[in-house]
Amino acid sequence: MLRIALIDILLFALPFVIYAAYMIWVKGRAPASAMTGAPIFWLLTIGFGLLIAVTVTLVQFSGGSPEGTYHPPVVEDGVIKPGGVD
């Protein structure tokens, strides 16, 4: 669950990081003032859009078949055998 939360945070923050890097590298601003006057609304919109697009894509193309049978994880000989959908 922590991995998913970190990926979501990264995807949401990506437009802000790219904008700040652009302002520092191309425009020559100091790192402390890179976000001054930033188009926050558009960065938020792009961040949410990227987050939603990746989440929908993961839900659509990952996982097992909807008609499959779920087998939960089991412990065999002290080793956890992962579950799955057949």
What pairing do the DSSP bridges indicate for beta strands 79-81 and 70-71? unpaired
Note the pLDDT tens digit of each residue in 50-75: 999 998 998 888 877 778 888 999 99
- Take residue 54 and report the two structure tokens written for it: 């990746």
76 by Cβ neighbours in 10 Å (0-12 / 13-18 / 19+) ranks as exposed
Domain coordinates in residue numbering, the chain: 2-85
Residue-level pLDDT at 66: 78
∠ CA 7-13-19, rounded to 5° = 140
**pTM summary value:** 0.69
The whole-angstrom separation of Cα 21 and Cα 31 is 9
Structure confidence by residue, pLDDT tens digits, 10-41: 999 999 999 999 999 998 889 888 888 899 99
